[in-house]
C-alpha cells in the first residue's frame, strides 16, 4: 500500500489522517458547515483538536446536527441536558457561547446575506496558500486572524480568540497550511 506523505501533526492516528486528507485546508463556503467548524473550534479552545474530532459525532447529536437556528433557541432544559452529556465537553461557558454564537451568526447572515460572505470577505474570497516547509513555520496566529477575531468579538461572538480563529481559518480552507512535502499540495 502506498504511503502518503502528510503534514506531521496528523501522522499515526487514523482519524486525524482522514480529517487531514479529506477536510483540513479545503475551502468551505456553506454556512451550515462553517457553523459546525465554528462551534467545534469554540469547544476546542484550550484542548487538543483530536479530542474534539473524537467527540465530533457526539457533538453532532447533542447539538441537533449543528443546526444554528435550533441552537440559537435553546432553553434552560436543553442547556441542562448538554451539561449532563458525557459525550461532549461539558463546559457551561462554552455551551452558552454556542447558543449566543448561533444568534450572532444569524445576525451576520441578515447583514451580509450569508456568514460565508462575511467570513470570506476577509481574504477577498480566496484561499491564502502558504508555502511552509516545516510544521515549525506554521503560526498559531496572524495579523489577519487578529483582525477577524477582533471583529467577531465586537459583534458578540465568544471563544473566538486569534488562535481559535486561525485554527478555524485552517480548517475551513481560508488558509492552506499544508507543508510543501504534503501530498495535498500537489
pLDDT digits (tens, 9 = 90+) for 122-171: 999 999 999 999 989 999 999 999 999 999 999 999 999 999 999 999 99
Grid cell, residue 119, equals: 467570513
Which pLDDT does position 186 carry in this prediction?
A: 57
Which pLDDT does position 120 carry in this prediction?
A: 98
Q: Tell me how far the alpha carbon of residue 161 is from its chain's centroid.
A: 12
> Any idea which residues carry the catalytic annotation?
19, 41, 49
For residue 79, pLDDT beyond 70: yes
d(CA 162, CA 146): 5
Average pLDDT for the chain: 95
Which pLDDT does position 74 carry in this prediction?
A: 98
Which pLDDT does position 24 carry in this prediction?
A: 96
Which pLDDT does position 2 carry in this prediction?
A: 54
Which pLDDT does position 19 carry in this prediction?
A: 96
Q: Choose among 186, 185, 184, 149: nearest CA to 167.
A: 149
Q: pLDDT (tens digit, 9 = 90+) per residue, 15-32?
A: 999 999 999 999 999 999
Contact 159, 94 (CB under 8 A): yes
Amino acid at each position: 500500500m502506498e504511503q502518503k506523505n502528510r503534514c506531521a501533526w496528523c501522522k499515526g492516528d487514523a482519524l486525524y489522517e482522514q480529517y487531514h486528507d479529506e477536510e483540513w485546508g479545503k475551502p468551505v463556503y456553506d454556512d451550515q458547515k462553517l457553523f459546525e467548524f465554528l462551534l467545534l473550534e469554540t469547544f476546542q479552545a484550550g484542548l487538543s483538536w483530536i479530542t474534539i474530532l473524537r467527540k465530533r459525532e457526539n457533538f453532532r447529536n447533542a447539538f441537533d446536527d449543528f443546526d444554528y437556528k435550533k441552537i440559537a433557541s435553546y432553553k434552560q432544559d436543553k442547556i441542562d441536558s448538554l451539561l449532563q452529556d458525557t459525550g461532549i465537553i461539558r463546559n457551561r461557558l462554552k455551551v452558552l457561547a454556542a447558543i449566543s454564537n448561533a444568534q450572532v451568526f444569524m445576525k451576520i447572515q441578515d447583514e451580509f446575506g450569508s456568514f460565508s460572505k462575511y467570513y470570506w470577505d476577509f481574504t477577498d474570497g480566496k484561499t491564502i496558500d502558504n508555502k511552509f516547509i516545516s510544521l515549525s513555520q506554521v503560526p498559531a496566529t496572524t495579523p489577519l486572524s487578529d483582525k477577524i477575531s477582533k471583529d467577531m468579538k465586537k459583534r458578540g461572538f465568544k471563544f473566538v480568540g486569534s488562535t481559535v480563529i486561525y485554527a478555524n481559518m485552517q480548517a475551513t480552507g481560508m488558509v492552506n497550511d499544508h507543508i510543501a512535502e504534503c501530498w495535498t499540495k500537489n
